[in-house]
Structure 1
Amino acid sequence: MNKSAFLKNLGVFSLASSPMFLPSLLCALWYKETAVAATFLCCILFTAACGGLLYMLGRRADNSLQHRETLGLVGAGWLLIALYGAIPYILSGHLSFVDAYFESMSGFSTTGASILSDIEVLPKGILFWRSFTHWLGGLGIILLIIIVLPFLGAGGKLLYRSEMPGLDKSSFKPRIKDSAIFLFRIYAGLTILMTLLLLFAGMDLYDSLCHTFGTLATGGVSTRNASIAAYDSPLIECIICVFMIIAGTSFSLIYCFAVGEYKTVYKNGEWRLYLSLLLVSAVLISLNILFSHPSIPGLIGAPETHGDPGFLERIRLVVFQTVSIMTCTGFCTTDFNQWPDFSRMLLLVLMVIGGCSGSTSGGLKVVRVMLLFKMAVWHLTQTFRPKDIRVFRADNMIVDKELQRSILSYFTLYACVFIAATLLLTAIGIPMVTSLSAVASCFNGVGPGLDQVGAVSNYGFMPASAKVLLSFIMAMGRLKLYAICALFLPSFWRKY
């Protein structure tokens, strides 16, 4: 491990991250929250000072990094950026260090899990920062690393591969920097478009921006205690629902659609399976609720005088919640924790599957699940037809042994971490269903889970040890496990 080069580049990353507090500072000034604005100014200075110190410690190192340093930089950089992001919560006096770090990591990992019970009492500047961390975590931080640290060589490519794990990247330009600029244009364009549509639907500019940040990053953060249900607007829900589906779609397919390559989009097996899973799941949950559960809760926060939701309102609630969970956004309009067991179990499965590769959503990704299933069928066929020479294909591409091993090793590591984290939470004293769904939710970047961490609950009741564990789980899920897990291996830190 070239520790000097590691520290130097971590310093560059910190220096480049210091301006990220500026939009929230301007928001605080706009709403005349001078104390909050001063907090963000301190954050800028502190982050820049830490970056300068780290850079000076490794200033004599050359700029070249090997694969090991790059992997460590990605993992440590994410943990560090969450630490910087926790400072506004701490200085504002609203949260303890552990709670602040949990909330910050939830933002940058686009999870949306929260320990806050009354969101609306927080200053506008802090709430804007809370939403903005999701937008940064969705794509902004990735672009920052790729653009600001182009001399990493393998580093940019490693990070690019971790964010774009699909089969087909042909729509992207070969140069990483060009791809980064292209991704940013799509992300910024969708941000502007959705903000304008929400303004048209009746939201003010502040809420429109905050909910756009939460939607496109699939973070699911809201400025209201009742989340999207607070607006009780089918139009707003429809707009958010459409953009959640877009956010769960690969950016390469969004590009193809934008330039008129509709045939490429239609022929993409992952995207078709993604839409099929959404449709089938919504239908199954609707049927389960309509025929086996006579009474379900309506909108969160709705007066009891509204009574039991009717047929159309049930469909509205189910469709929105299904899309929100599968895209790993986590917006809530109803307490799905009170749905039938089949519906809740199906939502848990959708959490694990997640959206498409190359999108901002979490989960295993549809392409990995699709390939795992096809690999199982292919190997099963080979057991009773051993003499058949058949090449394993997916989306008209040959899936070689190396890619198969990569998918299986990732799934194995995913399962091991999932089981270990669930066992640790139960050992701490958290009920089994809560532990299982909390890990599923945080690992896959969803936010709300089941039981005590359901749609109308939060993670505030958990002890500090559980919050620290889930913070690392959120980081692992966002960085595809390897970058964080490697930091805990003694062999990773040994000299060459």
Structure 2
Amino acid sequence: MQFNYKVILKVIGILLLINGAFMLTCLPFSFYYGEGDHMALIGSGFIAIGVGALLFLLTRNLESNDLRKKDGYLIVTLGWLSMSFFGCLPYIFSGAIPDLTNAFFETLSGFSTTGATVLTDIESVDKGILFWRSLTQWIGGMGIIVLTVAILPLLGIGGMQLFVAEAPGISPDKLQPRIKETAKRLWIIYCGLTLTELVLLWFGGMDFYDAINHSLTTMATGGFSTKNASIAYYQDPYIQYVIIAFMFLAGTNFTMTYFGLHGQFRKVLRNEEFRFYFIFCLGASLIVGLIIFNLGHDTFEKSIRDALFQVVSVVTTTGYVTHDYTAWTSFLTVMFFLLMFAGGSAGSTAGGVKLVRHILLIKNSLLELKRILHPSAIIPVRFNGKSVSRDITFNVLAFIMIYILVMCFGAIAVSSFGIDFNTSLGAVATTLGNIGPGIGDVGPVDNFAHLPMGVKWILSFMMLLGRLELFTVLILFTPYFWRKV
């Protein structure tokens, strides 16, 4: 048998059970605010639980639970798609987003932690549905961490072996027996940071409902807000600085967070990716802050704060907004567009290319100059003082090349619907990078509601591709994947 379909269906069944259970956790907000969305949540939750239970019961008596490599690719992709299709039911049943295309777009944007929205009046949506919207991002954020640690390294995807080599409780040669322990530790850190941010925002003056929603979507680097103006609604510097700090933490390799919480600061400071991440965000923020201050944007503190917020938001692919960066200058619009290709750290909830790939690309490119002068010399790429295998280097080069090609073809496909150049490029770049706001007519103060239905399906595919590290999805479209070996 080429695929172990029973194992695949069993895992998808478990995911749908979890999905349905999370839907029901939105009911307290629905009942408290009494806005009438409880029946949509109950119906959606029980449908997801019912289908999940059926799949699980039909496959519970498996003789073998062996997960093969090809099975892994299908589970990851079909799992994300099935959760998104069932996850859009609350929107449809409640009437918040009545049609499938828009509901699926919003849901996949949630699970992929992209933050692109089709809602034109977020504050008018019932509180239970709005909480489900935030919860999809929180589930997707932690899901990508577990995916990065547990699944992608086994499939040899995306150069994530670098993360695995440093992850607490994991070693490359004994990965599988320790996945459970590692996932447990990551869940504890993720939940702990979410709870900490909730407390800080709540005591900082944000009401409990808004505080829990923003905590969920900050730690997921998702960017869904309960306000039409996003974080620009809150002009309190304290609230904005708290969110900046937690966006930065969410975009940090969770291994570094683990080491930091255990007092191993030397390991954190010695990590090349973390140093690059910190300096990159700080440097870009200072450049933007000084430019907009000189333009008379506001006080020096406000200029630096807005710059820091927007740079960290885009680099970590969170997508929150305190100001329309496309209205500052053409130079800064181009700069923020380029920042969309940075991505956060590997092993974080951030999307995008990931900074570790940029570091390896730069190092390998510089070493090529040395190799030209010394063709017989063996000069390996080093990361954190260790040699990086040629396989990982080639994987990174292939990833970045395919990323650029996918973006180009995506922009061409979107523009074929009559969408202008800036909007086409901005929409594809922001959805492929799982960022949220782009440039053109999908900028920080706009949304995706006005785009044609066909464009929304293309952008949904971009979100899925970007979140699942390209190769996981694209390999399904190759003939040799389906060929019997």
**TM bin (shorter chain):** over 0.9
SS of corresponding position for 1:65: coil
1:129 aligns with 2:159: no
Number of aligned residue pairs: give it.
Answer: 474
Kindly provide the amino acid, as one letter, of the partner of residue 486 in structure 1: I
Once the two structures are TM-superposed, the CA of residue 11 in structure 1 deviates from its matched residue by: 2.4
> Which has the higher mean CA deviation after the structures are superposed, 318-327 or 365-374?
318-327
SS of corresponding position for 2:88: helix
CA distance in 1, matches of 2:370, 2:156: 35
CA distance in 1, matches of 2:93, 2:159: 33
1:44 aligns with 2:45: yes
CA distance in 1, matches of 2:282, 2:436: 22
CA distance in 1, matches of 2:163, 2:87: 34
Go from structure 1 to structure 2 and tell me whether the alpha carbon gap of 1:368 and 1:141 turns closer, same or farther (over 3 Å shift): closer
Task: Give the match for residue 108 of structure 1.
Answer: 111
Of the three residues 215, 225, 228, the one matched with 1:225 is 228
CA distance in 2, matches of 1:211, 1:492: 40
CA distance in 2, matches of 1:368, 1:396: 16
% same residue? 38
Deviations 1:157-187 (A, max 9, x none): 5389769554563341130000000000100
Go from structure 1 to structure 2 and tell me whether the alpha carbon gap of 1:364 and 1:165 turns closer, same or farther (over 3 Å shift): farther
Once the two structures are TM-superposed, the CA of residue 155 in structure 1 deviates from its matched residue by: 4.8
Given that 1:368 and 1:407 are in contact with CA atoms closer than 8 Å, whether structure 2 keeps it comes out as yes
CA distance in 2, matches of 1:366, 1:349: 13
Go from structure 1 to structure 2 and tell me whether the alpha carbon gap of 1:267 and 1:17 turns closer, same or farther (over 3 Å shift): same
1:471 aligns with 2:460: yes
Once the two structures are TM-superposed, the CA of residue 83 in structure 1 deviates from its matched residue by: 0.7
TM-score normalised by the chain length of structure 1 = 0.90
- Which runs of structure 2 are paired with 1:228-247 in the superposition (5 Å)? 228-247=231-250
Once the two structures are TM-superposed, the CA of residue 368 in structure 1 deviates from its matched residue by: 0.5
Task: Give the match for residue 174 of structure 2.
Answer: none
Moved over 6 A (4+): 159-163
1:173 aligns with 2:169: yes
Task: Give the match for residue 308 of structure 2.
Answer: 319
Once the two structures are TM-superposed, the CA of residue 280 in structure 1 deviates from its matched residue by: 1.3
Task: Give the match for residue 260 of structure 2.
Answer: 257
Task: Give the match for residue 422 of structure 2.
Answer: 433
1:408 aligns with 2:397: yes
Deviations 1:34-85 (A, max 9, x none): x311211111211122224444665676422310011111011101111111
Task: Give the match for residue 175 of structure 2.
Answer: none
Task: Give the root-mean-square deviation of aligned CA atoms.
Answer: 2.2
CA distance in 2, matches of 1:106, 1:48: 22
SS of corresponding position for 1:428: coil
Go from structure 1 to structure 2 and tell me whether the alpha carbon gap of 1:16 and 1:159 turns closer, same or farther (over 3 Å shift): farther
CA distance in 2, matches of 1:142, 1:289: 36
Once the two structures are TM-superposed, the CA of residue 191 in structure 1 deviates from its matched residue by: 0.9
Of the three residues 113, 117, 122, the one matched with 1:119 is 122
Given that 2:19 and 2:87 are in contact with CA atoms closer than 8 Å, whether structure 1 keeps it comes out as no
Kindly provide the amino acid, as one letter, of the partner of residue 329 in structure 1: T
CA distance in 2, matches of 1:406, 1:433: 30
In structure 2, the gaps of 5 or more residues are 171-177
Once the two structures are TM-superposed, the CA of residue 390 in structure 1 deviates from its matched residue by: 2.6
Given that 1:157 and 1:176 are in contact with CA atoms closer than 8 Å, whether structure 2 keeps it comes out as no
TM-score normalised by the chain length of structure 2 = 0.92
Given that 2:427 and 2:438 are in contact with CA atoms closer than 8 Å, whether structure 1 keeps it comes out as yes
Given that 1:218 and 1:247 are in contact with CA atoms closer than 8 Å, whether structure 2 keeps it comes out as yes
Go from structure 1 to structure 2 and tell me whether the alpha carbon gap of 1:360 and 1:75 turns closer, same or farther (over 3 Å shift): same
Go from structure 1 to structure 2 and tell me whether the alpha carbon gap of 1:161 and 1:452 turns closer, same or farther (over 3 Å shift): same
Once the two structures are TM-superposed, the CA of residue 19 in structure 1 deviates from its matched residue by: 0.9
1:357 aligns with 2:360: no
Given that 1:288 and 1:340 are in contact with CA atoms closer than 8 Å, whether structure 2 keeps it comes out as no
Once the two structures are TM-superposed, the CA of residue 423 in structure 1 deviates from its matched residue by: 0.8
CA distance in 1, matches of 2:195, 2:58: 41
- Which runs of structure 2 are paired with 1:294-443 in the superposition (5 Å)? 294=295, 309-443=298-432
SS of corresponding position for 1:359: coil
CA distance in 1, matches of 2:380, 2:76: 35
SS of corresponding position for 1:169: helix
In structure 1, the gaps of 5 or more residues are 148-153, 297-308
